[in-house]
Structure 1
Amino acid sequence: MGKTTGFLEYDRIEESYLPVDKRLKNYKEFVIGINDSQAKIQGARCMDCGTPFCNNGCPVNNIIPDFNDLVYRQDWRAAIEVLHSTNNFPEFTGRICPAPCEAACTLGINDDPIGIKSIEHAIIDRAWEEGWVAPKPAEHKTGRKVAVVGAGPAGLAAAQQLARAGHDVTLFEKNDRVGGLLRYGIPDFKLEKSHIDRRVEQLKAEGVTIRTSVLVAGKDGLGKDSKVTNWANETVAPDALLADFDAVLLTGGSEQSRDLPVPGRELSGVHFAMEFLPQQNKVNAGDRLKGQIRADGKHVIVIGGGDTGSDCVGTSNRHGAQSVTQFELLPMPPEHENKPLVWPYWPIKLRTSSSHEEGCTREFAIATKEFIGEKGKLTGVKTVRLEWKDGKMSEVPGSEQILKADLVLLAMGFVSPVQSVLKAFGVDTDPRGNARASTDFSGGYATNVPKLFAAGDIRRGQSLVVWAIREGRQAARAVDEFLMGYSELPR
């Protein structure tokens, strides 16, 4: 633990931001992390709570009290060793994870929780600065070959773990760069892609072969069911992978965006968030795009109140949108959660992101009835107010109105993985369309297809980057045990 009385003496210290007028001028990260002395104070607040609920609140089960104590003692080298023991990529989670660990912090019952995420952020940034993050190639090779399909956080974590176990790992990615939604979903102002690039170099040094622009699919490619844009220029058949490798692990994303089939959906100016966000990331990377979806000078409406919607808000503001409005179907949540009722679980409360603070009108309990347009081009959105009672919604009579809109971005989540990929492999699916694979320790993450495994969003549905890392790590252990009869990789 940190200082015995630290939680009584010190207040929570928040990371700060660059001013709005400065950060809107570019796509660079703008969070100002805590310094050494601030991190020491935050670590001192970690109390001897007996049962550290933060450990289970964290999907990768970070050993949080231990690294908090090490930061309090300013033993940064040991802190990164503890952090890396459970999390392959803390620079990702330290930037974009919503920190369920903090919601589970015991101190949070009657006070502000410890700034666990900011401490994690500080540890990994210090580790990179000091040169403590280095490749760890396996000392002995097993002679086994593993294909990992999908180079998002789940695939990256699995590939690294399997390579360190001594297997020959090939990581396949349909896009032109590695990272999945980290690369082509999360805006650069939340996660600069240099963080991904240096991990890619680490994986290569550890023996992972990375093949980008390679689509693993059946004869019909992704099929008509796909709404995903990809840049693959080579196709590999599932049968070929299963024949050439001793095990195959599917770690693709839940890529089918939820649509809004209302009148006017076909109008020019209505787009999925995942059409809009990846384009800006590609431009930031130096690519030239024809017909990029832009928000310059437009009235933008973002439909969906989650993180993806918030990312659309921030990107639209950087484009120079005239106005940005975000819709949420549910009523406005309370500003403060009922802690005795919800702790240590993730609370429902009003969350205002940095993008919202940059300029956004938020509308709650509102539904879209129709997209209005002229000559095939979007001009407005017809809406209606909603009333919620006993968990059921009904339209408020006489509340319909038309809001001006030049660009609508649909950010309502994802419904399933690309079905044609699973069909091409012959994988059984659950009622939600995800790959059916149990997480039981005996045969964990195995599908119905011999030597084929699945992990990450393709198995559990859309989720957080920290869950993807957890699934990739656990699936790697399951594959290792399948190949070798035992595994020394951590669960």
Structure 2
Amino acid sequence: MGKATGFLEYKRIDPKKRAPEERIQDWREIKLPRDPEVMKTQGARCMNCGVPFCNGGVMLNGMVSGCPLHNLIPDWNELIYKGQWEEAYRRLSRTSPFSEFTSRVCPAPCEGACTEGYIMEPVTINCIEYEIIEKAFAEGWVKPQKGKSTGKTVAVVGSGPAGLSAANYLNAVGHEVTVYERADRPGGLLMYGIPNMKLEKNIVERRINLMKESGINFVLNTEVGKDIPAQDLVNQYDAVVLCIGATKARGLNVEGCELKGVHYAVDFLKANTKRLLDSNFAHLETMDEKDGQGNGWINAQGKNVIIIGGGDTGTDCIATSIRYGCKSVHQFEIMPEPPVKRIEAANPWPEWPKKLKVDYGQEEAISLYGKDPRHYLINTKKIVGNEQGEAKEIHTVEVRWIKDSSGRMVPQEVPGSKKVWEADLVLLAMGFLGPEDAIPNELNLERDERSNLKAEYEEFETNVEKVFAAGDARRGQSLVVWALQEGKLAAREVDKYLMGRSGIR
């Protein structure tokens, strides 16, 4: 422990962010750098618990508690307090392959399980991780890694967080790794699913370039199962790792869902990020409905935007719409509003705290429009269009949750609560149903009851010889940090398969 009484002497200081009225004018990251002295005192707050729940990574009541990567959090908190930044990076990188991603986009289940959080504010673990990895890049401590060649070849399908993690570890132990990506840039949802202000794309490119320097080959604009048969990879490589994500978006089964202006949220985010990158962040007024490469994009400028669904994706849609100058933005959630504080009886520590969170997108909407854009206990009944087949309004009804005859909670409409909302752009952020079908169908891969690729956790091998699966494609839509852990563990099992044993831990 760096300082035995640190948690009593120092209060939690959250990272500062650029003011909403400033940051909505651009696409740059919203976080501001921290003073090293502040980081020292924040590291000193770590109690070095006898049982550090922060690095547990266990499932409690269907939610993760602690870090799935099992990061050695108390170790690097103490090292930061002592000013030993390089050693802190060494400890962090033992378990976390890409801390520059998790420190920006992870909801920090480690902080939700922090022992201090039981009686006071938890340690700023996420912020400390961010400062460690950024200092490591600035000081040149992060270098390409390549193990002695084994002569074995591995194809990784998908370059999202699970694919990048698997490729990183397989390459580090000496296998020749080729990553196949159907998009024009590697990174998967890190590149196109998360907006630039939350994860700047030069940060993704910085890591990809290091991976290329280490010998990993990226094949872009190539959709396995369409442009090339999946069976060709099985025939050509010694092992194949499927990290294809759970990209089959959940739709909305109501009248009018086929109207122009109704889009899946992931398509909206991808199209707009691609437009920004292809145009080198050109100002909106210089663009028409085509980006610099002639690809269509989804413009929210001057429109009444309604987002159906919550979570991080919904928040990202709010922030993106605001930056394009939408006329208004609302977010519908069918569930009740979470409590302001954790309800201990129903949601005890160290479970992930179910409480109201005002994220960056909501902050910006409140600053711009004077109120939170979220509306709870609301259900969409239909979308109505104009004569041109374009969405113009949404009809909703309020609901309350009651128990049915079997004891399940179901939504019941509230009489007299119908409402009509103006809506030129409707974005569906309702989650995902599993991986797309092309590759699983071609290879006759077994699926589980949720349509995910069937492969046991910590084994990761499918029913097809030498074909492995990891990440959202295997476990369903989940956190980036889980994808990184699955990629690492899948790489370990592939290494065992190829070599009989593995040094990956």
TM-score tier (shorter): over 0.9
Which residues in structure 2 correspond to 1:190-205 (within 5 Å)? 190-205=198-213
CA distance in 2, matches of 1:399, 1:145: 61
Which residues in structure 2 correspond to 1:19-418 (within 5 Å)? 19-56=19-56, 57-138=66-147, 140-217=148-225, 221=226, 235-287=227-279, 288=292, 289-339=294-344, 341-359=347-365, 360-375=372-387, 376-390=389-403, 391-418=409-436
Match of 2:504 in 1: 489
CA distance in 1, matches of 2:152, 2:314: 42
CA contact (8 A) 1:137 1:205 kept: no
CA distance in 1, matches of 2:402, 2:13: 39
TM, length-normalised to structure 1 = 0.94
Code of the aligned partner of 2:417:
S
CA distance in 1, matches of 2:402, 2:5: 46
Match of 1:224 in 2: none
Equivalent residue for 2:486, pick from 468, 471, 482: 471
CA distance in 1, matches of 2:500, 2:384: 61
Match of 1:229 in 2: none
CA distance in 2, matches of 1:33, 1:109: 28
CA distance in 2, matches of 1:356, 1:188: 17
Structure 1 pair 157–15 and aligned structure 2 pair: CA distance change class (3 A):
same
Match of 1:430 in 2: 448
CA contact (8 A) 1:249 1:454 kept: yes
Match of 2:13 in 1: 13
Match of 2:283 in 1: none
CA contact (8 A) 1:96 1:191 kept: yes
- Structure 1 runs of 4+ with >4 Å offset: none
- Secondary structure of the corresponding residue to residue 257 of structure 1: coil
Code of the aligned partner of 1:30:
I
Code of the aligned partner of 1:98:
P
Match of 1:4 in 2: 4
Gaps of 5+ in 2: 57-65, 280-291, 366-371, 404-408
**Structure 1 residue 34 displacement after superposition:** 2.2
CA distance in 2, matches of 1:268, 1:297: 16
- Secondary structure of the corresponding residue to residue 161 of structure 1: helix
TM, length-normalised to structure 2 = 0.92
CA contact (8 A) 1:301 1:327 kept: yes
Code of the aligned partner of 2:260:
S
- Secondary structure of the corresponding residue to residue 392 of structure 2: strand
Match of 2:287 in 1: none
**Structure 1 residue 293 displacement after superposition:** 1.0
**Structure 1 residue 398 displacement after superposition:** 1.2
Gaps of 5+ in 1: 222-234
Code of the aligned partner of 1:271:
H
**Structure 1 residue 345 displacement after superposition:** 1.4
Code of the aligned partner of 1:72:
Y
Q: What are the Cα deviations for residues 294-320 of structure 1, in whole angstroms up to 9, with x where unaligned? A: 111111100011110000000000000
CA contact (8 A) 1:419 1:433 kept: no
CA contact (8 A) 1:154 1:251 kept: yes
**Structure 1 residue 362 displacement after superposition:** 1.2
Q: Once structures 1 and 2 are overlaid, which stretch shifts more, 16-25 or 474-483?
A: 16-25
CA distance in 2, matches of 1:331, 1:350: 11
CA contact (8 A) 2:271 2:296 kept: no
- Secondary structure of the corresponding residue to residue 177 of structure 1: coil
CA contact (8 A) 1:104 1:346 kept: yes
CA distance in 2, matches of 1:345, 1:33: 30
**Structure 1 residue 286 displacement after superposition:** 2.2
CA contact (8 A) 1:33 1:118 kept: no
Structure 1 pair 290–438 and aligned structure 2 pair: CA distance change class (3 A):
closer
- Secondary structure of the corresponding residue to residue 325 of structure 1: strand
Q: Across the two proteins, how many residue pairs are aligned to each other?
A: 470
Q: What are the Cα deviations for residues 161-214 of structure 1, in whole angstroms up to 9, with x where unaligned? A: 001111011111111110111111100000001111111111112111111111
CA distance in 1, matches of 2:454, 2:137: 38
**C-alpha RMSD over aligned residues:** 1.1
Match of 1:419 in 2: 437
**Structure 1 residue 339 displacement after superposition:** 4.3
**Structure 1 residue 338 displacement after superposition:** 2.3
